[in-house]
Structure 1
Amino acid sequence: MNKTQKITIAVMAIIGLLLAALMLVPRRGAGTAAQAGGAERTEHAEQAPSAHADKAAPEQGGLAEAPPDKIALDDTQARAAGIVLAVAAPARIDAAITLPGEIRFNEDRTAHVVPKLAGVVTSVRAELGQNVRRGQVLAVIASSALSEQRSELLSAERRLALATTTFERERRLWQDKISAEQDYLQARQAQSEAGIAVRNARQKLDAIGAGAGAGAGPAAGGAQLNRLELRAPFDGVVMEKHLALGEAVKEDAAVFTISDLSQVWAEIAVPPRDLALVRVGQTVLVKASAFDAQASGKITYVGALLGEQTRTAKARVALANPDRAWRPGLFVSVDVPSGRAAGASATSANAAGDAAVAVAADAIQTVDGKPVVFVKEAGGFRAQPVTPGRSDGKLTEIVQGLPAGARYAAAGSFVLKAELGKDGAEHAH
């Protein structure tokens, strides 16, 4: 490269630098102008809400815009929205614990019908789910063992009849001084022993339910001696059936299960921490889990032992079931009143109740994840954050955030919550 070419390249480089400098100067100025314009727009934007508020204020009668936690609502609008006011005041809070449970058969009114003698089923007269009455025949079984016992009774009755006749004859002969007293005494002894044998045979039949009035007696003839009738012990429903016509059954087979469903049990599981609150004779509220139904019952039993697997104690509630809506196997929840809170004493309790301030349970709403009560103020309502305490489902204790005597929305507070949500959305925009 010669000297002339080097000079030419240097001149071109200098010209390029100058052009680049000229191009950069206007851009910096434009950026400054843009920043200035942005500042003006920001200042205008900050002033715009005030102007908008000033413009909106005359439309609202010259009132300033409400704070975010306040809802502007006059008395007429509140009544139209279904809002009911109440006064926060002391009250008695009888809180309740809720325990899981299940409907069970009343075991005191549930019977397993067994033949007590082996035999063959000759007739079945009751079906599964059928309502039966006390004494109704459920099935008939032919039993050879029963035939032998009835034969024994027949023989004993015949011997008793003969012994009685002999005794009466010997008594007359002895009274007439014809026979010796020893013959009279022997006849009396024979009659007594025959009577014992008859009572023994009858009691054997009564023990298996085949005594007088329980089926065809011995007097019905030889063809009926083996007839064993299984009868319902009380009014109830056939819950289980385990026999069929012609089937051979054993003496200890539970062929029928009869249960009186007019009263059932609600069996509940009680953890150790709640055992002191569950007492026999206490009235509780049982609620169905599968449908909307509830009923009151009394606790009749509280277990003294904890289950090895569940580590809970069993308690039992007697529940009237006239319509049979409470079916065994149904899951329920049981509300047990827990009384005063632990540590509360009569000296520290308020004269009107054990909660210094209480409000309606429906009055408490959740706003931004925090419980609030809508307090009545001039021109509307204000969402007052509170700290709730115990609750019995109707009243809730307010531990902090609301003084006694404050007027609040006891009913319809969900309407105020919805209005507060709308106002928050408008402020966000």
Structure 2
Amino acid sequence: MQLMKPLYWILVATCLAATPLHAVEDTHDDDNDAQSSAPETKGPHGGLLLTQDDTTVELQIFEQGVPPEYRAWVTKGGKPITDDVDLNVQLTRLGGQVDTFDFVFQGDYWLGDGVVTEPHSFDVDVTLALNGKQYQWQWESHEGRTRIAADIAEKAGIQATEAGPGSIERTLTTYGQLTIAPEQIARVRARFPGVITKVNVRLGDRVAKGDRLAKVESNESLKTYDLRSPIDGVVTERQISVGEVAGEQPLFAIADLTTLWAELRVFPGQRTEVAVGQKVRLQAEGFDQRASISHLLPSPGNAPYTLARVEVDNPAGTLSPGLLVAGDIVVETSEVPLAVENRALQSFRDWSVVFIQVDATYEIRPLELGRSDGTLTEVLDGLQVGDRYVVDNSYLIKADIEKSGASHDH
């Protein structure tokens, strides 16, 4: 936390102030054409009031009981205009998407032909053609947006990735423990009865195939011969000491621990969905590995479950037999056209969002979500394939935007 705290304040310091409305230069040659910046005053219906000369357009995003829509009221000389109006609104979003709205009169107001999708963050271009004269207003209306310099984002560990297709997995959770397969244990006996004259290994020692384990003096020949390890492994049993007589009993057990087996209990209610070859995510404290079911066996002692055996790689020997593990068995996989990593998701207002990145600018994208697993969530709406979204430390973007007091005022 001591590392992240100063980085957080660095991020806060980069937060953009609200972008002021700005005037747009007249690019029309016709003397009847005119443009004006959008003032901050509100009209009688609560919308943004755009004025030039004696002409006004009150523009509002209305979202009470309906999906967000544009409504407008046009007046000239203080009188409402209800026909012969060509009104157009063009919204340019972060990333270049352009939404265009034309308007038709509805008896009390002019209605835009479409839904103003969230986030309501865009550059706005309004044009009005009335009585042969054209008016234009342009301004920035940004919310849920911030800029963070690339070097600061790198120091804070903010990383983005490209949105695309994904595989959503449905799993069953099972439990079991790690074991050693019988064929991975070698028990070493004396070839001929005799007295142990030397022991070269202790419990827990690692040995290689051919290493000397002990020396035995034969009772018959009185000659000494070596007991050697038949495999690479760890000494897990030692049943003899110097001076004792070696007979037919095993003297040493050598276990190959480079591979273990997870034996997971699959109960009757789960059995119909479990099959050989299915992927499994095995987890325990300090252990997380993906593998596949190799065998399905009846449980010993007629217990009411089946054992799903899963091979576990253990090249460093860090895992021990008897370790309790959880196994998430993948019983169904669905390919979806668009998914995001779960760690990227944040709550913002009443939405689940990710933060897209375009150069040094970051902005919320409210999402409609579908199926989910422990890693990925399907996206039904709100994001496009190819959009770059923040996966690492996305909470810092959220904190920076919330600190800036981004509004939702139209």
Q: Please identify which structure carries the higher helix content.
A: 1
Q: Which has the larger radius of gyration?
A: 1
Q: Please identify which structure carries the higher strand content.
A: 2
What is the TM-score with the length of structure 1 in the denominator?
0.48
What is the TM-score with the length of structure 2 in the denominator?
0.49
